[in-house]
């Protein structure tokens, strides 16, 4: 590695490996674009060496270690094309006797009464359970047990979880927050991606916000919108788990579409009928076990259109009430009558 890097000019180095600039930024020696990398290190005098507390050789070793680690981070993992849930057992220890495969770009809803085990199923997928959780389920990725390294990798997390409550504690603006995330992901054209995320998040959020808005002052719906747009465009995780999205003041249908368009595998625990019918399939959980897998039928999709109209009508009523109005008359939505 050193042989290859040392003969490059600093400019060539930064063009080929933009993250290399971070290493030199922290050093006191000036960077000259047309100087060779080896000359940068050999120009280090005694005083600089004392200030840094290391000699030229140690600094070179640190540079090589930094570049090696960054290159490893950039290695793309094999694309996730499917997730398979191999059944375990319910709360009474009865076998689930089920095998469900979910493909990239599919939305699967998890429905069931409170306490039935929906979050547990999401947790199994997040942990890529291998019969080592209370449900004894096994999760396969691309039809195989994933490599242990991948199961516990932080950089290449398979699953991004969007939980019900999003609380920011950082003193950053929306723009700074997204930029920081983009930099940590080392994406190219970070500025463009960040701007796009903020635009998309605003399309999803009921109330708009600005790039300069502090993240701590975002509402629940605005934070969720930002997290969903961020997950769609920045997260490398191919699987997105959503635990309840309702009542969050966000355009739920478009949020799901945005993730599906990015070829994510979306699993969503929900009590919301519209979201439940938006899925390609729904898993029905009872007493800790998957009892049924229902493929959304044509008739259900047809009914979804009607439900969406009803939902818009309810939203209109909510807005009227929010703005101090009265509901003496139910606002009409074409084709829908509420008695
Ligand atoms: N197969 C199982 N075996 C043993 N315990 C289970 C199983 N499935 C779920 N449980 C337990 O049941 C409890 C409720 O599960 P969970 O929180 O997943 O329900 P939920 O459907 O997400 O509830 P809610 O709708 O209220 O969020 C938890 O304590 C969980 O550990």
Return the structure tokens found at 111.
Answer: 């429905």
Contacts of 259 (CB under 8 A, 6+ apart): 107, 228, 231, 232, 240, 266
Please write the tens of the pLDDT for every residue from 82-129: 999 999 999 999 999 999 999 888 999 999 999 999 989 989 998 899
Distance CA 59, CA 62 (A): 5
254 alpha carbon – ligand 1 mean position (Å): 29
Confidence of residue 282 (pLDDT cuts 50, 70, 90): very high
ipTM of the complex: 0.97
Closest ligand 1 atom number to CA of residue 89:
1
Q: Widest CA span of the chain, in angstroms? A: 87
Please write the tens of the pLDDT for every residue from 17-64: 888 888 888 788 888 888 899 999 998 888 888 888 888 899 999 999
Q: At 93, is the secondary structure helix, strand, or coil? A: coil
Q: Give the domains, in start order, of the chain with CATH numbers.
A: 2-74 (no CATH), 82-296 (3.40.50.300)
46 alpha carbon – ligand 1 mean position (Å): 63
119 Cβ closer than 6 Å to some ligand 1 atom? yes
244 alpha carbon – ligand 1 mean position (Å): 15
Return the structure tokens found at 328.
Answer: 């003496």
116 Cβ closer than 6 Å to some ligand 1 atom? yes
Establish how many alpha carbons lie within 13 A of residue 213's alpha carbon, considering only the half-sphere containing its beta carbon. Answer: 17
Whole-number Cα distances in Å, 55 to 23, 38, 68, 113, 317: 16, 14, 20, 65, 71
Q: What is the DSSP letter of 189?
A: T
Confidence of residue 332 (pLDDT cuts 50, 70, 90): low
pLDDT at position 338, please? 44
18 alpha carbon – ligand 1 mean position (Å): 46
The model carries a pTM of 0.71
């Amino acid at each position: 590695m050193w042989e290859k890097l040392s003969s490059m000019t600093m400019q060539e180095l930064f063009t080929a490996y933009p993250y290399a600039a971070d290493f030199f930024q922290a050093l006191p020696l000036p960077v000259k674009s047309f100087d060779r990398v080896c000359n940068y290190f050999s120009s280090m005098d005694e005083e600089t060496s004392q200030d840094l507390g290391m000699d030229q050789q140690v600094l070179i070793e640190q540079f090589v270690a930094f570049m090696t680690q960054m290159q490893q981070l950039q290695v793309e993992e094999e694309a996730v094309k499917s997730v398979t849930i191999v059944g375990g057992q319910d709360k009474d220890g009865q076998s689930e006797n089920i095998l469900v495969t979910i493909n990239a770009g599919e939305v699967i809803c998890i429905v069931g009464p409170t306490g039935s085990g929906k979050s547990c199923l999401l947790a199994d997928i997040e942990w890529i359970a291998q019969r080592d959780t209370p449900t004894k389920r096994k999760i396969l990725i691309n039809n195989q047990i994933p490599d242990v390294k991948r199961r516990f990798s932080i950089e290449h997390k398979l699953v991004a979880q969007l939980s019900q409550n999003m609380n920011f504690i950082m003193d950053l603006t929306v723009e700074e927050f997204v930029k920081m995330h983009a930099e940590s992901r080392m994406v190219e054209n970070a500025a463009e991606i960040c701007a796009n995320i903020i635009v998309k998040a605003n399309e999803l959020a009921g109330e708009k916000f600005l790039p300069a808005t502090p993240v701590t002052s975002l509402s629940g719906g605005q934070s969720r919108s930002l997290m969903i747009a961020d997950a769609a465009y920045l997260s490398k995780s191919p699987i997105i788990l959503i635990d309840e999205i309702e009542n969050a003041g966000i355009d739920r249908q478009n949020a799901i579409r945005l993730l599906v368009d990015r070829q994510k595998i979306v699993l969503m625990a929900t009590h919301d009928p519209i979201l439940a019918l938006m899925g390609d399939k729904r898993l029905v959980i009872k007493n800790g076990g998957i009892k049924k897998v229902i493929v959304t039928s044509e008739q259900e999709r047809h009914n979804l259109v009607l439900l969406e109209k009803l939902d818009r009508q309810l939203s209109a009523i909510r807005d009227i009430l929010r703005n101090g109005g009265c509901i003496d008359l139910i606002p009409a939505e074409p084709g829908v009558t509420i008695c």
